[in-house]
Structure 1
């Protein structure tokens, strides 16, 4: 751990703090805990009056419009009440419960209550269409779908087709009994969460996550130090990300439990009130996606720009051309990190001097090893491009990673070829170990923090009568990191115009969530292929660095809006 480094702090940024006490406290608490629930109980006993959860005010919101602050003691009471209901109904190890509760406090209360009885939580993306939700409930074999009133129509409709009980969280006391819980005591190796992440072949893959994963990432966060150093019981992290992602709902939550700190959880990103919310909630750090900094930079200068107590921001996708300017204007050290649902732990460029004018995202460290390999599984020289592979140090390379892809042993084995987890990200590495992002090798598009399977979008669009063939690629987006582009060979006689593009878009809207739909459409004459008939997506626009500048491109980004309440 690094101590205070005021002498080397960049001008205009708060000095680094000593994060060693928080790291030691986290390690001591983790050592005494078999599950995250156990750690939460210890935290509630050690810091009963500390804020555990803060909900920023949002007039007109369906829940807590005036905001709320919930202490560890108050949160424990809510968790224990729900745990008693689950326990009395027979819930325990082997049971999986889908939570469609958005970023409401009830999600975290139920999550920890399920951990208390040894059951598994499955957080649900509220933007799922019916068939996507049906797949998740069926594939996971969920025994219960729990939602709030705003989601109950969809939950009841979809779960009813499968014979899965659906229940409004407000009526949890009426929970019907279940059978089949395994008679075992929950521990580090017990399944805790099932996180669905987009797969390259279309259907999302279910990452099985145990309690060891939670502790690995929580301790990793607490140990990073440098610009990411946490204080023991003295920090409040503003996280405008959904709890159905591991960032907010598992990684940050566990780190804050282990360090006795507060999670500030807005319903989503609100640029109009961002700095007011940061100040009102007394946030000391924030998390971000690549879309957030450029939006904030475009807003006119205001006194609120510096009227906050933030020491750092943690996120990914901040444009290097914007990084220094953002730090200078707002006085916040923005730390770029890299991680995946499968890895939990993350790399971070958090020690000075940071490489903020590059796409650097950190070095291997005590909790996570990293190398760069070529396609033959050999480590490449420094500066050469290759795939980032990572593993845990020590005799078990999978310790603290996801356990497996549910019901997909082939994909699990493929991801772990050679004893290292293959990330699918193309990177370079400097002699001192610093890793720089180049591009994604996997058929995945990363838009505003969401992983989108190109294959899934292709399958949704190919059924339109005007589409003879389609390839979906990622293109740069200054706000969202990447955007979806559909390259379409139209059938003979179909018009290559905006009307056809919109028709294809609306066809896809019935099949995939809004954020997966193409923001751009290009009508092309051919899709170059390999000898095995795989589309060579890098050759669709030869000699063109940015496909958005190709002739005839149709911009559909204004159509990409939520259609669900």
Structure 2
């Protein structure tokens, strides 16, 4: 489509058409107009149709209606264009914790035709520098609490020339500039295939990649999984733990509630204690968080049963069957599991709470197709482990990255996950394709062993990898975090090994056990097995 971008960097650095996946738009709700700005559809539409007084976003310091958010986003767009010199297509770094002002900035950037590059608040200057360079970023909006890292990164950047800090009383802050700007703005009439966000992968392999997503993609994820699986309504109150720079959080905590006129609660810190307080204090009904958080929160089941919570979504890493059972017994709520990826933008395989099966991620989400394939890309028989391949209205577009060729093959996105599919179309996660352990000729999936170890009452967390062994090729090694009151010694290691032998096939037991105080995780909570491999 004819682009509205004056700065065409994003379009110029898309993968060649032959390296992009096939895109599917079979559903009626996936038929989008040629000119599409997702801010118009997700925010302006509610004001235009008379819902401006509905509650939209709240946090410890703010409580905004759709009209409030609309006005602030318009003011930010005016500052970006009229004071900071933004032109459509410029990339804008958005560095902040989850706050209403971060959401206002997100929509202000998109309204002005800019491209949002949101970053995790815990990133340091070194990591920000890399993102600034890869995205060739010229503008930044940053929470004042993160000034130090932002300034250090900016000093090393040759392109970043405009920074405004917000949530600040300083006279040169974004907040001050907004006061001088009107609360109306004519959104840039972007093309449906203009890039509106660049999301960086969270680094489970140690090397993050920049993924590009269009205005069309944002609206597509709102049209698929939320409608067919989540089935929330305008009276729901959404809350979650993932940072908004993580697309799981952006969708679950902002895009999906706004697509139906619901409201969201944003917490700057959202560990299990803060999340529980937020669910109770704000009357949250829908929560998005990772399996490790659900496992911790389950101990507070009696308190959770007294809240309005009714839908609980798990993604970001594999959901152990034991965690699903623990949560159901503690709260009476069946978890909604799902698998998505930064490359695909959000969830593409899932099952609602009424059709969940223990151990299964779910079925393919309407609008998408998925299959399990061999190394040549051919579908494998039902019940056979292979590589997960998926395609739909969203797909992988790395920004100028040779790894595009590995992720997209023959029009399909290869997610890097090993799965099997049963005769009913349910997909069962086995491992990341690089997490399969081959020991004495046996294929052993790390998550299966982790699940077995986690069933022991002394275990809080567990990660399993394969380590080299002269006799067996590899052996299974478990890294274990114990619950309080248990001793990390040889006797405990032997107890765990014996326990696993009774739970799964004995050849799968961890021949080596090492105890840690905590497991290495990304800022989004994903386990970083590569860091454990590096220890070896």
5 Å matches for 1:437-448? Answer: 437-442=429-434
Match of residue 64, structure 2, among 64, 70, 82: 70
| Residues 207/251 of structure 1: CA separation in 2 closer, same or farther (3 Å cut) | farther
- The 1:373–1:91 alpha-carbon spacing in structure 2 relative to 1, beyond 3 Å, is same
What is the CA–CA distance in structure 2 between the aligned matches of 1:276 and 1:29, rounded to whole Å? 41
Other-structure match for 2:309: 310
The structure 1 residue matched to 2:165, chosen from 164, 168, 172, is: 168
Cα 1:307/1:273, change in 2 over 3 Å: farther
- Residue 482 and residue 193 in structure 1: after superposition, are their counterparts in 2 closer, same or farther (change >3 A)? farther
What's the CA shift string for 1:413-450, capped at 9, x where partnerless? 33111111001100010112110101001479xxxxxx
Give runs of ≥4 in structure 1 deviating > 6 Å: 28-33, 479-482, 484-489, 558-562
Kindly provide the CA deviation profile for residues 521-548 of structure 1, in whole angstroms up to 9, marking residues without a partner as x: xxxxxxxxxxxxxxxxxxxxxx87465x
Query: 1:108 and 1:442, CA in 2 relative to 1: closer, same or farther beyond 3 A?
Result: farther
Aligned partner of 2:73 among 68, 72, 79: 79
Query: Across the two proteins, how many residue pairs are aligned to each other?
Result: 423
- SS of residue paired to 1:333: coil
CA contact (8 A) 1:241 1:268 kept: no
> Does the CA contact (< 8 Å) of 2:202 and 2:246 recur in 1?
no
Equivalences for 1:363-374 in 2 at 5 Å?
363-374=363-374
Question: Residues 34-113 of structure 1 correspond to what in structure 2 (within 5 A)?
Answer: 34-39=36-41, 40-46=43-49, 47-55=51-59, 57=60, 64=61, 68-89=62-83, 90-113=85-108
Deviates most, 364-373 or 320-329:
320-329
Structural mapping, 1:2-401, within 5 Å: 27=29, 34-39=36-41, 40-46=43-49, 47-55=51-59, 57=60, 64=61, 68-89=62-83, 90-163=85-158, 164-165=160-161, 166-169=163-166, 170=168, 171-172=173-174, 185-198=189-202, 202-225=206-229, 228-231=230-233, 233-250=234-251, 252-299=253-300, 302=302, 304-316=303-315, 317-346=318-347, 347-350=349-352, 352-355=354-357, 357-358=358-359, 360-392=360-392, 399-401=393-395
8 Å CA contact 1:291–1:480 kept in 2: the answer is no
SS of 1:291's equivalent in the other structure is: helix
> Which residue of 2 is the match for residue 429 of structure 1?
421
Aligned counterparts of 1:560 and 1:315: Cα–Cα separation in 2: 17
SS in 2 for 1:263: strand
1:53-106 alpha-carbon deviations (Å, 9 max, x no partner): 121x4xxxxxx2xxx321101111111111111121331322111111111111
- 2: CA distance, partners of 1:480 / 1:196: 30
Which runs of 5 or more residues in structure 1 are unaligned?
Answer: 1-25, 58-63, 176-182, 393-398, 445-472, 490-519, 521-542
Identify if the C-alpha distance between structure 1 residues 306 and 200 changes in structure 2 by more than 3 Å, giving closer, same or farther: closer
RMSD of the alignment, in Å? 3.3
Change (3 A) 1:487 1:224: same
Structure 2 portions without partners, runs of 5+:
1-27, 179-186, 437-445, 470-487, 489-505, 524-536
TM, length-normalised to structure 1: 0.68
How far apart, CA to CA, are the structure 1 residues paired with 2:364 and 2:461?
24
Equivalent in 412, 427, 433 of residue 420 of structure 1 = 412
Aligned partners of 1:224 and 1:271: how far apart in 2?
28
Alpha-carbon separation, structure 1, partners of 2:311 and 2:345 = 20
Structure 2 Cα separation of the partners of residues 207 and 222 of structure 1:
22
Task: Note if contact 1:95-1:120 (Cα within 8 Å) is conserved in structure 2.
Answer: yes
* Greater CA drift, 36-45 or 112-121: 36-45
What's the secondary structure of 1:224's corresponding residue? helix
What secondary structure is seen at the aligned counterpart in 1 of 2:370? strand
Per-residue CA deviations over 1:128-179 (Å, capped at 9, x if unaligned) read 233222111111111023212221111111111113234322412569xxxx
Alignment of 1:555 with 2:516, yes or no, is yes
Distance in 2 of aligned mates of 1:310 and 1:370: 31
Structure 1 residues 481 and 43: CA distance shift in structure 2, 3 A: farther
TM-score where L is the length of structure 2: 0.71
User: What residue is the counterpart of 2:403 in the other structure?
Assistant: 411
Following the alignment from structure 1 to structure 2, what is the Cα–Cα distance between the partners of residues 382 and 263?
A: 40
Task: Report how far residue 557 of structure 1 moved.
Answer: 2.4
How many Å apart are 1:326 and its aligned residue?
1.7
The SS at the match of 2:267 is: coil
